[in-house]
Structure 1
Amino acid sequence: MGRLSGPLHDVAQDAGYEQPPPRMGFFTDTSVCIGCKACEVACKEWNEVPEDGYLLTGMSYDNTQALSASTWRHVAFVEKADGPALTDLGMPGVGLPGAATAGTVHEDQETASGDSAVRWLMSSDVCKHCTHAACLDVCPTGSLFRTEFGTVVVQPDICNGCGYCIPACPYGVIGKREDDGRAFKCTLCYDRLKEGQKPACAQACPTESIQFGELDVLRERADARLAELHAQGVEVAQLYGRDPEDGVGGDGAFFLLLDEPEVYGLPPDPVVTTRDLGSMWRHVGAAAAVLVGVGIASFAGKRG
């Protein structure tokens, strides 16, 4: 592997592939997500991911709660009772108890619900397939590897269950199955990619909220969509994980958000946790050299 941080033009070449195909990834446009969870179901069916229970938190309609070893796609339902929606995006809006009845999902929420509106922010989260993936750096067995498409995949058959990758991920994506002991996460349907097919979640998404393709093309498409929303007055709309200059060198799966990242449970400024690994080892080496020097000097002084 090469650099541990900063922009990286071709992650597959950096991983040793001589003539890799274009880097592939996801652009998730949360402004058109309807929370149907078709992506969750398609992911589980295709990848044979076990069910992870149906216990509701009592705080949301969301039953899967977060990404885990048994939830590789997670549709978040974020309910905000903080005033009117920003524009008519075709998203559902409801009035608070005692407020006027909200309009249909196709009406302007500000007009329909007034100051008592509840905004539903929905977003289908997934592994980010980082440019600089700390999970790769810390895996002792090579279970985690970079594919020719630039994605990051776990090979369960050689995972020893050490769990080093779990705290290394700045997004909290990777988890271990309690009855198995091994780590699992989204593979971006590597088996389908090798056959020229879309990942199952993108294939199943009815609104094209989840868009799959060449990462450079997706970035251009996301920039155009962001400009469109800003022109409509949705100033809070922002791209998350699109910037190659960010703390992970940009993500292979990035998002258009309608609020701050923290609202969606995403870290506001993620940094690859192994970024300073090189300098740390240099400092350790320097300290060890000093100790050796002190020891030699002490030994030589006693002999004298």
Structure 2
Amino acid sequence: MAERMGFFTDTSICIGCKACEVACKEWNDVPDDGFVFRATSYDNTGGLGADTWRHVAFIEQPGGDGGQGIEGWLMSSDVCKHCTRAACLDVCPTGALFRTEFGTVVVQADVCNGCGYCVPACPYGVIDRRERDGRAFKCTMCHDRQLGGLEPACAKACPTDSIQFGPLEELRARAEERVELLRGEGRPRARLYGADPGDGVGGDGAFFLLLDEPEVYGLPPDPVVTTRDLPAMWRWAAGAALSMVAVVAVSFSGRGWSR
């Protein structure tokens, strides 16, 4: 197993250029989004999906700018979180989803049967299926580029280094220092999201520095692995099945004895 690699996205220096979106589409041959005008934001893609593996959110808010009381923008390049405890892996019946040697989670499109179990399993709502054939798609963290010793296309294209790629532990240490710096500069709401290995998904392989509450960015405040109760449920089901077999056996044996 190679060293676990990841993304650290520093939203404080994202300029909303969407170079990451374009680079992702070009390298991975991701189709267009349909060019639907939503009339709700300057954001032209709307959210992550089967045809948007990187999504730059434009959040316009009065009193923005990290809580400084100045109207402004919050911007963030969102992506699959490549969870340490990935529920999508737990529910995939074909093995289309797998954990790579870099610790990332990838969908093999040629193995996906389009069942869609992974879609509701994702606590972040990242995975989506294409209407054309029903197969699931999401960010691969450019697994093919990593195999060649290259950084993912989105990180390579980012002009401000808002998207940083590297060994996950190194990124976490760097991110902690960045948070302390921003707080010292008067950004008290600066925080890390998805960097804690003790959270509900065991930490994310793609984590973020945010300037406001996670909900402002459309992120769940306390994500948990959605399959956490599966072992207990299987044990309960197995126990119930054994009890049913026992009842049936006793019933038949009783009938045989009465005769």
Question: What TM-score bracket applies, with the shorter chain setting the length?
Answer: over 0.9
Asked if residue 85 in structure 1 is aligned to residue 38 in structure 2, the reply is: no
Question: C-alpha displacement at 1:296, in angstroms?
Answer: 2.5
For 2:178, the equivalent position in structure 1 comes to 225
Q: Gaps spanning 5+ residues in structure 1: where?
A: 1-19, 88-109
**Within 5 Å, which residues of 2 pair with 1:1-304?**
20-81=1-62, 83=63, 85-86=65-66, 117-302=70-255, 303-304=257-258
Q: Secondary structure at the match of 2:228?
A: coil
Q: Which residue of 2 aligns with 1:16?
A: none
Q: Which amino acid in the other structure matches residue 107 of structure 2? A: V
Residues of 2 paired with 1:84 and 1:69: CA distance? Answer: 30
**Aligned partners of 1:35 and 1:84: how far apart in 2?**
15
Residue type of the partner of 1:124?
S
Q: Is the 8 A contact 1:77 1:123 kept in 2?
A: yes
Alpha-carbon deviation of 1:86? 4.0
Equivalent pairs, count = 257
Runs (4+) of structure 1 exceeding 4 A deviation are none
Of residues 205-214 and 133-142 in structure 1, the stretch that sits farther from structure 2 once superposed is 133-142
Cα deviation 1:62-90 (Å, max 9, x = unaligned)? 01000000000000001112x26347xxx
RMSD across aligned positions (CA): 1.4
In the TM superposition, residue 43 of structure 1 has moved relative to its aligned partner by: 0.4
- Kept in 1: contact 2:89–2:98 (CA 8 A): yes
Contact 2:66 2:212 in 1 (8 A): no
For structure 2, the 5+ residue unaligned runs are none
Do the aligned partners of 2:7 and 2:207 also contact (CA within 8 Å) in 1?
A: yes
For 1:35 and 1:85, locate their aligned partners in 2 and report how far apart those are by CA, in whole Å.
Answer: 14
- CA change 1:179–1:37 in 2 (3 A) is same
- For 1:158, what is the secondary structure of its paired residue? coil
> Per-residue displacement from partner, 1:152-179 (whole Å, max 9, x unpaired)?
1111111111111111111111111111
Please give the per-residue CA displacement for 1:45-73, whole angstroms capped at 9, x wherever unaligned. Answer: 11111111222321210010000000000
Query: How far apart, in 1, do the equivalents of 2:158 and 2:64 lie?
Result: 27
**What is the CA deviation profile of residues 239-260 of structure 1, one whole-angstrom value per residue up to 9, with x for unaligned ones?**
1100101111000000011111
Distance apart, 1:215 and its partner CA? 0.2
Counterpart secondary structure, 2:110: helix
Q: In 1, are the aligned partners of 2:7 and 2:166 still within 8 Å (CA)?
A: yes
SS of 2:9's partner is strand
Partner amino acid, structure 2, of 1:198: E
Distance 1:242 1:234 in 2: 19
Residue 226 of structure 1: how far off its partner (Å)? 0.9
1:187-224 Cα distance to aligned partner (Å, 9 max, x none): 10000000100100000000000000000000000111
Deviation at 1:151, TM superposition (A): 0.5
TM-score by length of 2: 0.95
Name the SS of the counterpart of 2:166 in structure 1.
strand
CA contact (8 A) 1:56 1:62 kept: no
Aligned to 1:106: none
Q: 3-state DSSP class of the match of 1:130?
A: coil
Q: TM-score, normalised by structure 1?
A: 0.82
